[in-house]
Copies of this chain bind each other. A is one copy, B any other.
């Protein structure tokens, strides 16, 4: 087991100085052709590669970006990671992943671990608990130390940093308007409690769509789920709530759900109650998941272009890292990714 070879070892073997080796390998004109050839040949033979850690220390730059997300077993987030990885790799960066598991403290700890030199900047989406607590000191501290942050999807408007978001409001509005155009008269909304920023915006989109078509929103058609619970393990409870919704509002003929699972559950319950989709009830979800595509009937959804979000976020961050012009009064961008309504079988 031969350890990796270093400049020092090459220098000793060839009886030259470390500086000479370094320069020879970088093809410096200071070094004679003879020496260059000798050194380069030797380096190739022993498969020399500069040590990244030493480079990072010297350059005070790791060429690594940290991505901090609430959950990785999640179609949306993994697609974002793919986008980030794609451009990061293309631009010579590595990606280090931290998971907050929706917990505030894990988010803070993870940030601190990574902020101590391991990475050059952050791409992150904040945890639910952080959204509830409204405690953002760790973001501010990190940024005040000169480490740039790009937030995506779940962002916090009070913080001054680059952001990549999806147009939740407009996406939701379009979806609901689609239902209205398709002749739905009584459209229910299945959403989350309001502290989830995206849930709130999508709810607002629903309301605006109704309003702009002179439809009076009814409180009993809006079901707000408490999603601090893991959904996967609380499917039955969710389905019960939805069933209740259907039973107390018999005229429901359209459903807009703020995520995939709510939409799927709604379809399942509807079918169980004897409704036909899309003839009796039309359903639209908000997501980028696999379930929508493969469910029966397949689900019409508002696509968020998750991978593109990741790509844009990575480009934003790397641009900032490489243009450190140290211009005081820096400015931050917010990129809004347009949503797209993907029509499938759950709507007419």
The chain A residues found within 8 Å of chain B, CB to CB, are 1-4, 47, 49-54, 56-57, 62, 64, 72-75, 78-79, 81-82, 85, 89, 94-99, 110, 112-118, 141, 144-146, 261, 264, 268, 271, 289-291, 294-296
Tell whether, in the assembled complex, residue A78 and residue B74 are in contact, meaning their CB atoms are under 8 Å apart.
yes
Instruction: Kindly list chain B residues whose C-beta atoms are within 8 Å of the C-beta of A290.
Output: 289-291
Tell whether, in the assembled complex, residue A117 and residue B52 are in contact, meaning their CB atoms are under 8 Å apart.
yes
Tell whether, in the assembled complex, residue B97 and residue A2 are in contact, meaning their CB atoms are under 8 Å apart.
no
Find A295's partner among B47, B52, B296 (CB 8 Å cutoff): B296
Which 7 pairs across A and B sit closest by C-beta, in order of nearness? A51-B117, A52-B117, A53-B117, A96-B96, A49-B116, A1-B146, A73-B78
Instruction: Kindly list chain B residues whose C-beta atoms are within 8 Å of the C-beta of A117.
Output: 4, 51-54
Q: A297 CB to closest chain B CB, in angstroms?
A: 10
Determine the distance from Cα of A64 to Cα of B94 in the docked complex, in whole angstroms: 12
Q: A326 CB to closest chain B CB, in angstroms?
A: 9
Determine the distance from Cα of A108 to Cα of B65 in the docked complex, in whole angstroms: 21
Find A53's partner among B57, B81, B96 (CB 8 Å cutoff): B57
List, sorted by A's number, 25 A–B pairs whose CB atoms are closer than 8 Å: A1-B144, A2-B145, A3-B146, A49-B112, A51-B117, A52-B116, A52-B117, A53-B117, A53-B118, A64-B96, A73-B75, A73-B78, A73-B82, A85-B99, A89-B110, A94-B96, A94-B113, A95-B96, A95-B97, A95-B98, A271-B296, A289-B290, A290-B290, A294-B295, A295-B296
Instruction: Kindly list chain B residues whose C-beta atoms are within 8 Å of the C-beta of A49.
Output: 112, 115-116
Tell whether, in the assembled complex, residue B97 and residue A85 are in contact, meaning their CB atoms are under 8 Å apart.
yes
Instruction: Kindly list chain B residues whose C-beta atoms are within 8 Å of the C-beta of A82.
Output: 72-73, 99
Closest residue on chain B to residue A330 by CB atoms: B1
Determine the distance from Cα of A294 to Cα of B3 in the docked complex, in whole angstroms: 50
Closest residue on chain B to residue A267 by CB atoms: B296
Tell whether, in the assembled complex, residue A52 and residue B118 are in contact, meaning their CB atoms are under 8 Å apart.
yes
Closest residue on chain B to residue A79 by CB atoms: B73
Q: A344 CB to closest chain B CB, in angstroms?
A: 13
Tell whether, in the assembled complex, residue A97 and residue B99 are in contact, meaning their CB atoms are under 8 Å apart.
no
Determine the distance from Cα of A73 to Cα of B96 in the docked complex, in whole angstroms: 16
Determine the distance from Cα of A236 to Cα of B146 in the docked complex, in whole angstroms: 51
Tell whether, in the assembled complex, residue B296 and residue A268 are in contact, meaning their CB atoms are under 8 Å apart.
yes
Determine the distance from Cα of A284 to Cα of B3 in the docked complex, in whole angstroms: 48
Determine the distance from Cα of A289 to Cα of B293 in the docked complex, in whole angstroms: 14
Determine the distance from Cα of A115 to Cα of B54 in the docked complex, in whole angstroms: 13
Tell whether, in the assembled complex, residue A62 and residue B53 are in contact, meaning their CB atoms are under 8 Å apart.
yes
Determine the distance from Cα of A261 to Cα of B291 in the docked complex, in whole angstroms: 11
Closest residue on chain B to residue A288 by CB atoms: B73
